[in-house]
């Protein structure tokens, strides 16, 4: 896992965002706000489950965050959650804190891009 975040990395799939904007119209900002609030809670849940060292709880939390991220087009965030989910599935949590830090950084980038799309 690399902690580098180059400009070449796609944080948001613009096609997914366009489709959601077309589908939801004026409700799109509500979806973004819900995602941002929900994601903050999910990151807190990941922190708690990683501290508990219960692999199944980490796997479930990462899986849930992976799905919601992908639904909004947060491709890299979803991939990082998938990696954490995979670690937990195999009971290898020794690098889970490092992965969580990458998830937090990526979420901040995604949140900023989403906010820019609303403005």
Position 2 in a domain: no
| Token pair listed for 65 | 């965050």
The predicted model scores a pTM of 0.88
CATH value at residue 21:
1.20.120.160
Number of domains in the chain: 1
Domain containing residue 71: 14-118
Residue 7 and residue 3: Cα distance in Å, rounded? Answer: 13
Q: What are 89-118's pLDDT values in tens digits? A: 999 999 999 999 999 999 999 999 999 877
Position 8 in a domain: no
Position 68 in a domain: yes
Q: What are 40-79's pLDDT values in tens digits? A: 999 999 999 999 989 999 999 999 999 999 999 999 999 9
Angle 68-3-38 from CA coordinates, rounded to 5°: 20
């Amino acid at each position: 896992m690399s902690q580098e975040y180059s400009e070449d990395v796609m944080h948001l799939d613009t096609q997914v965002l366009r489709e959601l904007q077309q589908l939801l119209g004026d409700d799109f900002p509500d979806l973004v706000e819900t995602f941002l609030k929900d994601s903050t809670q999910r990151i807190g849940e990941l922190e708690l489950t990683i501290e508990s060292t219960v692999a199944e709880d980490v796997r479930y939390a990462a899986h849930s965050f992976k799905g919601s991220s992908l639904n909004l087009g947060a491709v890299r965030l979803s991939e990082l959650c998938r990696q954490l989910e995979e670690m937990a599935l195999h009971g290898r949590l020794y690098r889970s804190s490092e992965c969580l830090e990458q998830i937090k950084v990526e979420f901040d980038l995604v949140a900023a891009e989403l906010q820019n799309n609303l403005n």
